[in-house]
């Protein structure tokens, strides 16, 4: 809001597209029919209560918009872990192909003709390692999202809100046992256009981790907040960067003011894309 206050009233503002505007939150925009895009991301997750914990993932995605309001995306993942001396975790140090996913998102309401935009999405995925521990597994799940956004000031200030539910079932390659878990939560973002094609703002997320698909057994919860910036590099290219820190939380099994069992102390994300 401070940045918006210093924006000259005569500065030209680009129309807002929320498809890639946020890093951890999802907007309702899905692109135009026939649009094709190559996208990438790098995500880092850092710091547990003890030891050294650095986990990262990189993705490369091909996005297509075959029909009005329908966005599809196919993604490959590479994971990297450097874990040593973390209580309850086996030491891990490797980089390897991590899995694949397919994202389908459908926009039900368009901000151009409705008071707000609204979309729903599902992203089935297969992973070869556990996100948190780095243990070699076979993991299958679907990330569900409901995303709403609205322009508080047209072409200047936009807010987004997400509802999240992410169930997973996992088979350990070490023991052969199966387990289920899920993450539910909300995400919020606010971005202001301070120059044409340049947005600054922030995002906040409240996440709850469960042992199982339902909300019966709470494993922990964390609240994350941090800044986000978006640059439109050209008519075809863009980049988004964000940092997020856990500022409150609690793990059910361990005392402490943060949940550093199911989540990390800090997270960072860089996203980029090119239309072709």
Q: Are 208 and 164 in contact (CB under 8 A)?
A: no
pLDDT > 70: percent of the chain: 96
For residue range 86-139, what is the model confidence (pLDDT) as tens digits?
998 999 999 999 999 999 999 999 999 999 999 999 999 999 999 999 999 999
Does residue 5 register a pLDDT over 60? no
Task: Share the mean pLDDT of the chain.
Answer: 94
Distance CA 41, CA 30 (A): 18
């Amino acid at each position: 809001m401070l940045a918006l206050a210093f924006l000259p009233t005569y500065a030209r503002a680009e129309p807002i597209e929320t498809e890639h505007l946020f890093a951890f939150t999802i907007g309702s925009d899905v692109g135009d029919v026939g649009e094709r895009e190559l996208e990438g991301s790098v995500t880092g997750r850092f710091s547990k209560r003890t030891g050294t914990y650095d986990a990262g993932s990189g993705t490369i995605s091909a996005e297509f918009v075959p029909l009005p309001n329908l966005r599809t995306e196919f993604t490959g993942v590479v994971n990297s872990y450097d874990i040593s001396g973390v209580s309850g975790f086996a030491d891990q140090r490797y980089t390897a192909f991590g899995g694949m996913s397919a994202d389908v998102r459908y926009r039900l309401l368009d901000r151009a003709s409705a008071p707000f935009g609204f979309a729903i999405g599902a992203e089935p995925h297969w992973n070869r390692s556990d996100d948190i521990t780095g243990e070699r597994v076979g993991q299958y799940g679907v990330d569900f999202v409901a995303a709403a956004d609205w322009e508080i000031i047209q072409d200047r200030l936009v807010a987004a809100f997400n509802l999240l539910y992410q169930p997973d079932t996992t088979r350990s390659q070490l023991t052969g046992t199966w387990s289920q878990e899920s993450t539910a939560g909300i995400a919020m973002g606010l971005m202001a256009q301070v120059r044409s094609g340049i947005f600054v703002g922030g995002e906040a997320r409240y996440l709850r981790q469960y042992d199982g698909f339902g909300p019966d057994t709470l494993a922990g919860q964390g609240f994350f907040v941090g800044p986000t910036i978006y640059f439109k590099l050209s008519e075809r290219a863009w980049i988004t960067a964000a940092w997020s820190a856990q500022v409150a939380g609690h793990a059910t099994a361990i005392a402490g003011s943060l949940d550093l069992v199911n989540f990390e102390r800090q997270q960072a994300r860089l996203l980029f894309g090119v239309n072709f």
